[in-house]
Amino acid sequence: MTGPREERAAPKRVTVIGTGLIGTSIALAVRKAGTEVLLIDRDPATVRLAAELGAGTPWTDELADLVVLAVPPPAVAVTLLDAQSRGLAAAYTDVAGVKGPPLAQAARLGCDLRSFVAGHPMGGGERSGPLAARPDLFVGRPWVLCPGAEADDTAVASVRAMVAACGATPVTMDAADHDDAMALVSHAPHVVASAMAARLAEAPPSTANIAGQGVRDVTRIAAGDPSLWQEILTANAGPVADVIEAVAHDLAGTATALRAPGGSPGPVADLLARGVTGHGRIPAKHGGPAARLTTVTVLVADRPGELAMVFQAAGVAGINIEDVSIEHLRGRPIGVLRLAVAPEAGPRLIAELRARGWSVPGPDTEPEETDAADTR
Amino acid sequence: MTGPREERAAPKRVTVIGTGLIGTSIALAVRKAGTEVLLIDRDPATVRLAAELGAGTPWTDELADLVVLAVPPPAVAVTLLDAQSRGLAAAYTDVAGVKGPPLAQAARLGCDLRSFVAGHPMGGGERSGPLAARPDLFVGRPWVLCPGAEADDTAVASVRAMVAACGATPVTMDAADHDDAMALVSHAPHVVASAMAARLAEAPPSTANIAGQGVRDVTRIAAGDPSLWQEILTANAGPVADVIEAVAHDLAGTATALRAPGGSPGPVADLLARGVTGHGRIPAKHGGPAARLTTVTVLVADRPGELAMVFQAAGVAGINIEDVSIEHLRGRPIGVLRLAVAPEAGPRLIAELRARGWSVPGPDTEPEETDAADTR
């Protein structure tokens, strides 16, 4: 639970162009760090709303240390050119989810690439607009920075200080590497989830009765806003196409192997093995090395105060709950509470809960659920 | 939170053949309902272990009301034939995750299909074997029953009573429909998750730094045991191949559209829209209609007792927590706690928590996280 801490002072004055979810959240975060914030948006009502939310004051003609371009990818280069031509700040950054195309366009337009450090904060939510903004939106999350070869050290330092003020962790990458990586960990997974979910659109209604957590997880992100995702996929079309084409190739090959008379186990086994390897490359939710936790399952009444008593029992025993989930049981007024704790704390927690009268079936290690433990 | 309740009495005596995770869990569950259980396994040590765990007593030569065949799919028909030829019980059921092939094989072998009601309980876990067994493994979960046209009413009633004793909800389906549905909601999603995860196996290590919850969810089930999944996929090869071929076709078409000079937005938009529709067909985690919940986010210290105080505050205010998640922040001794509550309870909970000094940024509706809210 330790990581690099940025000790640089936040910039004294920042101008945020684009007061949507991301821009307003950045404004709220740096304001908390003592930075003065000026707000610009092509929609004056949005600027007023962001200002009323405490994000800063509407820009009139002030100069700043740093300009944050929180505008959609296709607008980054032209907005940068305009801001630089008016000399709005000493340094500039953006927040677009794709880095190569805006940088190439900025170079073509003749933007000053010494004062520009491209950036991309990870995080956000299903909602958009300033009303969804939160000062803690980026806390603990990675924030990719792609300083070009021309970038000034002072511009880089200024942007890093702003990232630190937002509580995020800067990760430096080449712009093309960023776009390939985003295709792999965000854009292609969205298309793959959509393609799997699309199969369910044609399924008979009874199918839904037996859907479990597996398909729910695989397809969860397919619920995202289609027009937003259309824009994202189009902006990073080449790298996304490369990944989903490779996925399609593997799936088609697996289908052929499954249909082979007598069975052709090789390709199926190969794909499953590569899937296990690839899954292992993704860090666990909490960052840092994936500590093995013990899960203690408790049956609890589905009523106010019941959870408090369980957590209180853990607290009294000096046990820290690392993760928690609740599953409500269909047609029953009880729920299954799963508490993840350090392995050494498991037996103590079970004893404590049983002593207080709860039904605790016994500890599991790695409780991830499958739909398929139907053999033995 | 209401569903059909089975009021039938549990069978008086059940013989479980195959004392792995599923067989032993069924034994533990029906024992709690007062049923006498006899245990058979080709491995005598496994039977002894299950008996020591309280699952029943080793079978010697007793007759039972019902035999549960908890053996892998390829073993169902021969085990059924053997049990019927010895007249072990009046009714028989199995638990295999594929229904068509064992039923066809049973018919070919000349099994008595009047006393056999094929079944498939949903649920299970990453672990296998009797040590992982739990009497509550099936509580609140669907349990598919596929009685053939020849099945006796008394056999069906006996199996339904056993399912009820396990706390599960019986769902009657045709065997072929079951296999198609399992391909769609379990087997194909596993292959799709593996194919996406396989891409990450080849990625540069820096990619992992920016992986978020989206790709983690899409690929989670790819961690499953490859040899178990090889067996499952092979057993349901045709229906699985149909689904993954259709997914491959959609992905290849999307890649082509993304590469089209000038962009070809139609196929991309179409896939995303179908994905949203299909995702909407999956019931929410809690069963029943997907109630819209409000999420309240609280920053909490990462130490014993802290969660108890939050839940206590909710309990005192009479607010039921419907769902909960904890995200630990990298490099910080605090965590982000998200509490899902009924929409009308949200403002009260926020007020209660703020009054007690917690930092509560404000309510979100539908808090599902994306990696992509990077425009506005």
Supply the pLDDT for residue A75. Answer: 95
Supply the pLDDT for residue B333. Answer: 65
By C-alpha distance, the chain B residue nearest A29 is B361
Predicted ipTM > 0.90: no
Window 28-57 of A, Cβ < 8 Å to B: none
Task: Return the domain boundaries, chain B.
Answer: 13-173, 179-280, 294-365
- B207/A281 touch (CB, cutoff 8 Å), yes or no: yes
Supply the pLDDT for residue A222. Answer: 95
By C-alpha distance, the chain B residue nearest A312 is B308
Nearest C-alpha of chain B: how many angstroms from A322? 8
The C-alpha atoms of residue A17 and residue A92 are separated, in whole angstroms, by 11
Question: Between these two residues, B351 and B89, which has the higher pLDDT value?
Answer: B89
Nearest C-alpha of chain A: how many angstroms from B142? 6
Mean pLDDT to the nearest integer, B289-304 = 70
| Both structure tokens of B97 | 């995750």
CB A337 within 8 A of CB A298: yes
Taken as a whole, chain A contains a residue count of 376
Which pLDDT band, with edges at 50, 70 and 90, does B8 fall under?
Answer: low
- What ranges make up the beta strands (E) of B97-248? 116-121, 142-147, 169-172
pLDDT tens figures, A258-315: 999 877 779 999 999 999 999 998 876 544 434 567 778 787 877 777 888 888 888 8
Residue B53: partners with Cβ closer than 8 Å, 6 or more residues away: B24, B28, B130, B131, B133
- A238/B252 touch (CB, cutoff 8 Å), yes or no: no
Give the count of alpha carbons within 13 A of A135, CB side only. 18
- B372/A72 touch (CB, cutoff 8 Å), yes or no: no
Which pLDDT band, with edges at 50, 70 and 90, does B359 fall under?
Answer: confident
The DSSP annotation for A218-245 comes to HHGGGGS-HHHHHHHHHHTHHHHHHHHH
B294-301 and B334-341 strand pairing: antiparallel
Question: Between these two residues, B300 and A79, which has the higher pLDDT value?
Answer: A79
- Indicate the residue type of A46: T
The C-alpha atoms of residue A172 and residue A149 are separated, in whole angstroms, by 13
Question: Between these two residues, A287 and B257, which has the higher pLDDT value?
Answer: B257
| Both structure tokens of A228 | 């937003």
Mean pLDDT to the nearest integer, A195-214 = 88
From A286-295, B212-221, B227-236, the region with the lowest mean pLDDT: A286-295
Nearest C-alpha of chain B: how many angstroms from A136? 8
Supply the pLDDT for residue B126. Answer: 54
Is the pLDDT at B365 greater than 60? The verdict is no
Which run of H or E residues covers position A90? strand A89-94
Q: What is the mean pLDDT of chain B?
A: 86
Is the pLDDT at B254 greater than 70? The verdict is yes
The C-alpha atoms of residue B174 and residue A210 are separated, in whole angstroms, by 13
Question: Between these two residues, B286 and A293, which has the higher pLDDT value?
Answer: A293
Is the pLDDT at B375 greater than 50? The verdict is no
Residue B68: partners with Cβ closer than 8 Å, 6 or more residues away: B14, B15, B16, B17, B23, B26, B93, B94, B95, B162
Q: Shortest CB distance from B376 goes to which of A72, A140, A312?
A: A72
Q: Per CATH, is B13-173 categorized as 3.40.50.300?
A: no
Is the pLDDT at B250 greater than 50? The verdict is yes
| Both structure tokens of B72 | 């892998």
- B281/A200 touch (CB, cutoff 8 Å), yes or no: yes
Mean pLDDT to the nearest integer, B10-25 = 95
Window 264-323 of B, Cβ < 8 Å to A: 265, 268-269, 271-283, 285-288, 297, 299, 302-312, 314-323
When scoring B7, B243, B272, B344 by the number of chain A Cβ atoms within 10 A, the one with the most, hence best to mutate, is: B272
Q: Shortest CB distance from B258 goes to which of A203, A233, A307?
A: A233
By C-alpha distance, the chain B residue nearest A227 is B269
By C-alpha distance, the chain B residue nearest A363 is B132
Is the pLDDT at B230 greater than 50? The verdict is yes
- What ranges make up the beta strands (E) of chain B? 13-17, 36-40, 57-58, 64-69, 89-94, 116-121, 142-147, 169-172, 294-301, 323-328, 334-341, 363-365
Nearest C-alpha of chain B: how many angstroms from A27? 14
Give the torsion through C-alpha atoms of A218, A223, A228, A233, to 10 deg: 30
The C-alpha atoms of residue B369 and residue B211 are separated, in whole angstroms, by 13
Supply the pLDDT for residue B362. Answer: 53
CATH fold for domain B179-280? 6-phosphogluconate dehydrogenase C-terminal fold (1.10.3660)
Nearest C-alpha of chain B: how many angstroms from A203? 8
Cβ neighbours of A16 in B, within 8 Å: none
Supply the pLDDT for residue A308. Answer: 80
Is the pLDDT at A357 greater than 60? The verdict is yes
pLDDT tens figures, A40-69: 999 999 999 999 999 999 999 999 999 999
Q: At what angle do helices A100-109 and A76-85 cross, to 10 degrees?
A: 40
Supply the pLDDT for residue A119. Answer: 98
The SS3 call for residue B225 is coil
The C-alpha atoms of residue A166 and residue A162 are separated, in whole angstroms, by 6
Query: Exposed, middle or buried, A261 (CB in 10 Å: 0-12/13-18/19+)?
Result: exposed
Cβ neighbours of B3 in A, within 8 Å: 330-332
- Rounded to 5 degrees, what are φ and ψ at A215? -70, -30
* Architecture of domain B294-365 in this structure: 2-Layer Sandwich (3.30)
- Indicate the residue type of A62: E
Q: What DSSP designation does A359 have?
A: B
Which of A211-215, B28-32, B279-283 has the highest mean predicted lDDT (pLDDT)? B28-32
Which of A243-257, B212-226, B324-338, B341-355 has the highest mean predicted lDDT (pLDDT)? A243-257
Mean pLDDT to the nearest integer, B189-210 = 91
